[in-house]
């Protein structure tokens, strides 16, 4: 929350004196002095909805019990965060919530990660003390990316705030009121018929199992069990620095080697890396940029298109931007199509017997793998299955792998060896930074002297920067979190209408706040601190790579010299590029 005042308030929490800026909530002040007030509806990413009432505290000298999440601390206040009566009230609140919640923990996808379950455990709830009135509402699996189970909804409002405010998508809403309040797409339609872009941020913020990724782990095991199939797997950049959280590693720990080993242990025949695909994306997209920037072939700014939720959002709401979009496919689609053409050809494999599984931080990738005919460029479905980081973590546990003691493994370098430019794709600003590294070389024949482009880094919703190439100013922007993109697009449109110089030359957009490291399919508990730690893990990986520019990747060079020819060649076009079409949906 923005606080412009420099005034402070002095107050006491459980007798501990605190001095905090005016406007600080009781909850925030308590966190500062390490007092743990239980919360349920409050999420660190979101403004308080004050829906659940579990964070009530006592203000001494009054009979008030305000909610700590939304009540600012006032001068001289004496707050009691815990006493037997407060605990008893919190327990009652919890029992009320549980009376509306199905008792299905054992078969729920959130078993073990559910915030409601964990509170019930902390409070030692041993019986259902109130009559159960679970609403009879159907499950919605229509998107095949995320699943709505409104029966399990506790009406905290997080998903709505995420969908409406953070992402500006407005697919989810509350219908009805009071005890009948339920989460549903606007007007009670199927989620697939709503403007949902499958970003999955709702599922990453839901405290219970009411919104969950479409689980396809069973399908993955089936592929691995089939002796006639050659199973290929690839991992996205952001997965390696987040999956450790599911195994007790500090956030941001880079577990690439262990992941390679675990995937082989699970039975994958070939282990590739999406980072390699990112390097190829840069070769194609960088060349697209050069054509537009130098040869005036095509519209500027060039807008990145590797985020499928963003592509869907653009096709639905901003289809006037289609000609600005890079036609290059996303990295995992590139690895998919190259597996079933180049790799199969070199290894003498029958592509009809090859299956490609992508491990992604993303729920929208489940949609992307069938989004258009372009995703079948090899003659087969290029990527057969897309699993989220969370699904892979479960599969690793099912496989009985002791992750901690696993030795580091290697990938298959042909479509696996990657550069630092490929790995930073996983964080907001990384695609742009990687593109600059290669575009500079393509335009000038010389390497960009400072590899790291700081203006593209960090968590600011819109980041802008300038650099000079061949004496010309290049203006770039990065937007992440769908709620931030429209300001940038409006600037592009305004410049166009006024006949001005383009507002920017290149724009990177990622649907999820922080980029893929904060993706909708990543381990739970996302906060800005966590986003920064995961991003740091990728920037460290970048610094430690032998090669840090996509065009330096020897296997990428080999791919072009022996198979594709050069970037944007006819073959590259056929396999590595795709087109977009307006998908008019109803207005938000």
Binding residues vs other proteins (CB under 8 A): 164, 170-177, 185-188, 586-588
Over the Cα atoms of the chain, what is R_g? 25
Of residues 170 and 380, the one with the C-beta less far from other proteins: 170
Shorter beta-carbon distance to other proteins: residue 187 or 565: 187
CB 552, CB 437: distance < 8 Å: no
Nearer to other proteins, 173 or 540 (CB): 173
| Nearest distance, CB of residue 323 and other proteins, angstroms | 25
Tokens of 52: 């659940």
Residue 303, SS3 per DSSP: strand
Contact 54, 86 (CB under 8 A): no
Which position has the token pair 């036609």?
327
Closest CB 512 distance from other proteins, rounded Å: 20
Which residue, 188 or 222, has its beta carbon nearer to other proteins? 188
> For residues 146 and 233, which CB has a smaller minimum distance to other proteins in the complex?
146
- Phi and psi dihedrals of 416, rounded to 5? -135, -40
Quick count: other Cβ atoms within 10 Å of Cβ 63? Answer: 6
Q: Which is nearer to other proteins, 15 or 584 (CB)?
A: 584
N-to-C CA span, the chain: 26
DSSP for residue 229: -
Q: Shortest Cβ distance from residue 156 to other proteins (Å)?
A: 16
Q: Which is nearer to other proteins, 210 or 572 (CB)?
A: 210
Q: Which is nearer to other proteins, 183 or 356 (CB)?
A: 183
> Is the Cβ of residue 34 or residue 177 nearer to other proteins in the bound state?
177
- Three-state SS letters, 203-226: HHHCCCCCEEECCCHHHHHHHHHC
How many beta carbons lie within 10 A of that of residue 2, not counting itself? Answer: 4
CB of 368 to other proteins, least distance (A): 25
Distance, in Å, from the CA atom of 414 to the CA atom of 100, rounded to the nearest integer, reads: 53
Q: Where are the beta strands (DSSP E) in 121-261?
A: 146-148, 172-175, 182-185, 211-213, 230-235
Smallest separation (angstroms) from other proteins to the CB of 350: 48
Give the nearest distance from C-beta 164 to other proteins in angstroms: 7
- DSSP string across 37-81: ---SS--TTS-----S-TTB-EETTSS---BTTT-B--TT-EEE-
- Phi/psi-derived region of residue 380, left when phi > 0, alpha when psi is between -120 and 50, beta in every other case: beta
Alpha carbon distance 453, 433 (integer Å): 6
Smallest gap from residue 186 Cβ to other proteins (A): 4
For residue 556, count CB atoms less than 10 angstroms from its CB and return exposed for 0-12, middle for 13-18, buried for 19 or more.
Answer: buried
Question: SS3 for 164?
Answer: helix
The minimum distance between CB 189 and other proteins, in angstroms, equals 9
Q: Give the integer Cα–Cα distance in Å for 429 and 455.
A: 8
Q: How far is the CB of 177 from other proteins (least distance, A)?
A: 5
- Identify which of 538, 542, 534, 536 has the alpha carbon closest to the alpha carbon of residue 242: 534
Q: In what order do the strands lie in the sheet with 230-235?
A: 270-273, 230-235, 354-360, 385-388
φ, ψ dihedrals at 183, nearest 5°: -85, 130
Choose between 186 and 190: whose C-beta lies nearer to other proteins: 186
What stretch of H or E contains 11?
A: strand 8-13
CB nearer other proteins, residue 74 or residue 176: 176
Nearer to other proteins, 196 or 507 (CB): 196
The residue count for the chain? 588
For the CB of residue 187, give the shortest distance to other proteins in the complex, in Å: 5
Smallest gap from Cβ 131 to other proteins, in A, equals 21
- Name the minimum Å distance from CB 587 to other proteins: 5
């Amino acid at each position: 929350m923005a606080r412009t005042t420099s005034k402070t308030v002095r107050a006491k929490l459980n007798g501990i004196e605190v001095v905090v800026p005016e406007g600080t909530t009781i909850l925030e002040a308590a966190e500062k002095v390490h007092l743990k007030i239980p919360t349920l509806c409050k999420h660190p990413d979101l403004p308080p909805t004050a829906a659940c009432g579990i964070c009530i505290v006592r203000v001494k000298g009054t009979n008030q019990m305000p909610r700590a999440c939304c009540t600012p601390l006032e001068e001289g206040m004496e707050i009691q965060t815990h006493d037997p009566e407060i605990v008893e009230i919190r327990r009652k609140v919890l029992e009320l919530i549980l009376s509306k919640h199905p008792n299905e923990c054992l078969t729920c996808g959130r078993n073990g990660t559910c915030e409601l379950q964990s509170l019930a455990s902390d409070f030692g709830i041993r019986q259902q003390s109130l009559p159960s009135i679970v609403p009879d509402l159907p499950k919605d699996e229509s998107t095949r990316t995320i699943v709505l189970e409104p029966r399990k909804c506790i009406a905290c409002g997080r998903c709505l705030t995420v969908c409406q405010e953070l992402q500006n998508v407005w697919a989810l809403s509350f219908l009805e009121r009071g005890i009948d309040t339920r989460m549903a797409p606007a007007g009670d339609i199927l989620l697939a018929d709503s403007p949902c872009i499958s970003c999955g941020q709702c599922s990453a913020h839901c405290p219970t199992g009411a919104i969950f990724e479409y689980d396809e782990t069973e399908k993955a095991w089936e592929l691995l069990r089939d002796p006639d199939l050659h199973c290929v797997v690839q991992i996205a950049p952001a997965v390696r620095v987040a999956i450790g959280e599911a195994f007790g590693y500090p956030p941001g720990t880079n577990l690439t080697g262990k992941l390679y080993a675990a995937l082989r242990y699970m039975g994958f025949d070939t282990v590739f890396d999406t980072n390699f695909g990112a390097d190829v994306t840069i070769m194609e997209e960088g060349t697209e940029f050069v054509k537009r920037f130098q040869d005036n072939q095509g519209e500027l700014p060039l807008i990145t298109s590797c985020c499928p939720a963003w592509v869907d959002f653009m096709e639905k709401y901003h289809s006037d931007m289609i000609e600005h979009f890079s036609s290059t496919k996303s990295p995992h689609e590139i690895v998919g199509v190259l597996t079933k053409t180049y790799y199969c050809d070199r290894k003498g494999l029958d592509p009809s017997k090859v299956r490609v599984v992508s491990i992604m931080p993303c729920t929208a990738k489940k949609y992307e793998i069938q989004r258009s005919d372009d995703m079948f460029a090899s003659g087969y479905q290029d990527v057969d299955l897309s699993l989220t980081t969370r699904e892979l973590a479960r599969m690793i546990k099912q496989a009985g792998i002791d992750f901690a003691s696993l030795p580091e493994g290697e990938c298959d370098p042909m479509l696996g060896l990657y550069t630092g430019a490929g790995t930073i794709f996983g964080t907001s600003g990384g695609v742009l930074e990687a593109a600059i590294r290669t575009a500079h070389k393509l335009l000038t024949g010389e390497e960009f002297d400072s590899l790291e482009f700081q203006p593209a880094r960090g968590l600011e919703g819109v980041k802008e920067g300038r650099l000079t190439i061949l004496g010309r100013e290049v203006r770039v922007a990065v937007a992440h979190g769908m709620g931030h993109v429209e300001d940038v697009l409006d600037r592009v449109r305004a410049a166009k209408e006024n006949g001005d110089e383009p507002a920017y030359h290149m724009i990177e957009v990622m649907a999820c706040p922080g980029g893929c490291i904060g993706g909708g399919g990543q381990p739970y508990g996302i906060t800005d601190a966590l986003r920064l730690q995961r991003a740091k893990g990728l920037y460290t990986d970048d610094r430690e790579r032998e090669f840090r520019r996509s065009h330096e990747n020897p296997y990428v060079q080999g791919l072009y010299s022996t198979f594709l020819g050069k970037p944007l060649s006819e073959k590259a076009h056929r396999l590595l590029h795709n087109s977009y079409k307006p998908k008019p949906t109803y207005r938000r």
